[in-house]
Chains A and B, each alone.
Chain A
């Protein structure tokens, strides 16, 4: 096996093997467990960095293993895969650092970090899946490996949330499977290729293909939290903060959104999907989700619940970008895949910091918290500005491209939806910032647990990750025009997707 075959496999193994080892570790082997975690995360990033350069130079990385005749497991690093795999690997490193700090002294840490590693294994598998079968395999593995994380605290509320989570995701997976098998039956192996394989089917298959598209989108829409399939997400916020970060920014909802991107571009092909008149309904579903999530977020007092509804709304920006026919919308959607990740991970880190440091869980308890925890609140503010789409933040870049894409696609109503969503975002984020910075705190805090020491308003391991991702929110915008920004990479993908020669 040469390097171009083994690298994709190594990306998966770099979290899978540490995960297995961690399961075998005794509870008190704190240092070794952390070392395995960090080593796995760093090795994964290094391998990805190597492949990144290769993919930009159109190098071909592919691992292929035959499971049954006509059924291959394929891991392939194309440009789109690299976008998602880089995001998840980078945020995994941050989240691991954060989780080590967060779970300090907690129970069942071997179990937690074991499944944590499996979860990331599944995510990078989804990112690099080269065909629908492989995608489905890792998609279901993600469901199974996140369930123990959602119920980690073992409370009744957590168990109920876990049951909801499983109910939604397994049912979604079942529907997805029917669509996948049906497509395999029509096409043989459904590899992800530019312009999609489905376009090779004649017009007599139009109805079947529309039904299959619906099945696939429903199956993926559960994880992407498309309204009305989003019910599990706000409930799942009872999970520990690093898990929420993982669910909302790195793994689960992203896997759903990413799957929709793959289905539209590399299974159906965006032109063919447009010719089947599938994209406008998808755009409508995305718009409904964007507005509904924002409206619900307005009314939530629980901070994590407000963030959860905000995720429902924001993830559909990606779907909207995909559904707007044209390269500019695509660029916006793909860039938002990364941008939403770094913004939302920052917010969940910050929410976790408030809860762990001071016991603050509700927006109404946040008066004056900016004075007590200025660094955390600064990171939170940057991310919130990004969500609203203010200039010099990542969110501005993606919203800009999405609005332009809507105009160019001849669907100005979608741009209006984005505008309305920005206003709603402002309506539910700005009051938080106002409370945090401008209002005066009346002691005591609900449950102070970590004392401030100098600039360290909370423990260092909890503080560094949100600061790092907060800086990234700004850098993604300021450096958007450089060659290595998420935006530049999204442009590269859109170029390859729309300009690929007809097969």
Chain B
């Protein structure tokens, strides 16, 4: 197919609109077919990705037309998105068969969400990025609200305010860029921005960074995440935790790649790292204190996001070798968390669906009734704790190596301690679900295999990736 990059954006827009018109039953099949094709396209793009490759849509080059840029990093994120989205679509079809509330909205909104993600990863222009960011935020808010419950609506409203605030701050930054340089194309700007950096550009970057941190839910901006991710229908939680927050983090990476060395003082890098460290500790402790399974998983996302921001203190003012290790570790963490968290939310959704509740202390008997889901939870947990063999372990290994290489032992202690805290909350669930006896008088409704296998396969993927991850590093390239 010519122009696979453009199709990655057009295809989900197409099936989303068709799903809206045809209704959820046929929409689900369209989505699955569209996402399967999307995975093939993403794999094709990943196989041909190289730095500096730019695709001019319709033959119109950059300042006039829309340029799509595919480097390894973008290809990696596309691949992650579609690897996670396809099994989740199959899962969601079975899930909404049992919980019809909001099924009509799920497929069109998911299509727009995937289109926004693909477009975001492929854009190389600050304003186009803003458009994708806005579309992504609105689709995500719609998904959180789609169940229609009062709780879901209040979480969605809060999420909406956060996402609008975040994108407004970002847009203000873009406007300042345009005002100073008359141009918003990233590769051009990277050439134009030179010391001394105008105050307006410093302000612009600060605004954009804060907006993105808000949307990535870096502590202390994480207040909105647990109710939104923990309250949404399970497939939505999985999409949001695995992919949506990674997209805004990806934008932070893009800014840092283009302007970081020139602009970000070491203090900012340290601050981001400290916030990340605080997120790891606070999120894990909160996760440990939750009584409900989905809230525990949501707080675990808060903690896992923290690791992503260790890139900045580890890579700032470090040797190229250290910076490379930190870069690789963080991208491995993004991929590992994407797979594992999608698996975990999927498993939790199936368990809650069968048991009729997700109170952790009452999960006894899950091992006998939903063994695959419990395995999915456990294996994903192995990756979150960073135990081998798993992608999460490789991420921890690379980050630890970066810390050891530069002698920054405080970060090493955080990495190791965070893993132990993750073990504490994962085993809190397993102790009840795996060993605990079933409460008398409770029952588990039978659950379709499609609610069991996709999470299991995602969890297994995060483990198998831990044995063969060379291609992730190859795509990740260097900062």
Contact = CB atoms under 8 A, between A and B. Distances in A.
Interface in B380-416: 382, 385, 387-389, 394, 396-398, 400-401, 404-405, 412, 416
Interface string A136-179: 11001101100110010010000100110010001101110110
Given A140-B387, A154-B435, A177 B467 contact: no
A185 B401 contact: yes
Contacts of B434: 148
B412 A137 contact: no
A279 B452 CA distance: 52
Contact of B420 (A68, A69, A162, A174): A174
Interface in A47-91: 65-69, 71, 73
B400 A171 contact: no
A23 B367 CA distance: 12
Nearest to A143: B387
B437 interface: yes
Nearest to B468: A67
B470 A151 contact: no
A264 to B, nearest CB: 22
A141 B388 contact: yes
A120 B467 CA distance: 20
A68 B400 contact: no
Contacts of B466: 67
Nearest to B399: A181
Nearest to A173: B387
B419 A185 contact: no
A392 interface: no
B431 A73 contact: no
A445 interface: no
Nearest to B417: A174
A159 B435 CA distance: 9
B420 A137 contact: no
B416 A177 contact: yes
Interface string A114-141: 0000000000000000000000110011
Interface string A322-356: 00000000000000000000000000000000000
Interface in B399-450: 400-401, 404-405, 412, 416-417, 419-420, 423, 427, 431, 434-437
B268 interface: no
B469 interface: yes
B367 A111 contact: yes
B400 A166 contact: no
B401 A69 contact: no
A151 B473 contact: no
A184 interface: yes
A182 interface: yes
Contacts of A68: 394, 398, 469-470, 473
A181 B382 contact: no
A136 B468 CA distance: 17
B467 A166 contact: no
B431 A159 contact: yes
Interface string B149-185: 0000000000000000000000000000000000000
Contact of A181 (B404, B435, B473): B404
Interface in A346-404: none
B412 to A, nearest CB: 6
A171 B469 CA distance: 26
A215 to B, nearest CB: 11
A174 B431 CA distance: 21
Nearest to A65: B467
A67 B382 contact: no
A17 B431 CA distance: 26
A313 B412 CA distance: 33
B401 A181 contact: yes
A178 B396 CA distance: 10
A177 B473 CA distance: 21
B467 A154 contact: no
A346 to B, nearest CB: 30
Chain A contact residues, majority secondary structure: helix
A69 B367 CA distance: 38
A171 B389 contact: no
B424 to A, nearest CB: 9
Nearest to A73: B467
A166 B423 contact: yes
A154 B404 contact: no
A238 to B, nearest CB: 13
A67 B419 contact: no
B416 A174 contact: yes
Nearest to A139: B388
Contacts of B419: 174
Nearest to B432: A159
Nearest to A170: B423
Contact of A67 (B371, B404, B435, B469): B469
B388 A140 contact: yes
Most chain B CB within 10 A, of A163, A171, A175, A185, is at A185
Interface string B48-59: 000000000000
B425 to A, nearest CB: 12
A148 B371 CA distance: 14
A112 to B, nearest CB: 12
A181 B467 contact: no
Most chain B CB within 10 A, of A65, A66, A73, A181, is at A181
B404 A182 contact: yes
B470 A66 contact: yes
B388 A171 contact: no
Contact of A151 (B396, B420, B435): B435
Contacts of B398: 68
B387 A144 contact: yes
Interface string A170-205: 110111011001101100000000000000000000
Nearest to B394: A68
A25 to B, nearest CB: 12
A184 B403 CA distance: 12
A474 B117 CA distance: 69
Interface string A305-317: 0000000000000
B468 A166 contact: no
Contacts of A67: 389, 394, 466-470
A359 to B, nearest CB: 24
Given A68-B394, A144-B382, A171-B420, A154 B473 contact: no
B437 A184 contact: no
Interface string B22-56: 00000000000000000000000000000000000
B389 to A, nearest CB: 6
A281 B434 CA distance: 42
A69 B427 CA distance: 32
A395 B195 CA distance: 75
23 contacts: A65-B468, A67-B389, A67-B394, A67-B466, A68-B394, A68-B398, A68-B469, A68-B470, A68-B473, A69-B473, A71-B394, A111-B367, A137-B388, A144-B382, A144-B387, A148-B435, A170-B385, A174-B419, A177-B396, A177-B400, A181-B400, A184-B401, A185-B404
Interface of A: 23, 65-69, 71, 73, 111, 136-137, 140-141, 143-144, 147-148, 151, 154, 159, 162-163, 166, 170-171, 173-175, 177-178, 181-182, 184-185
Interface of B: 367, 371, 382, 385, 387-389, 394, 396-398, 400-401, 404-405, 412, 416-417, 419-420, 423, 427, 431, 434-437, 466-470, 473
> Nearest 3 pairs between A and B by C-beta?
A137-B388, A174-B416, A181-B400
Given A69-B470, A185-B401, 20 more contacts: A23-B371, A69-B473, A111-B367, A136-B388, A137-B388, A137-B389, A141-B388, A154-B435, A154-B436, A154-B437, A162-B431, A163-B427, A170-B420, A170-B423, A171-B420, A178-B412, A178-B416, A181-B404, A182-B404, A185-B405
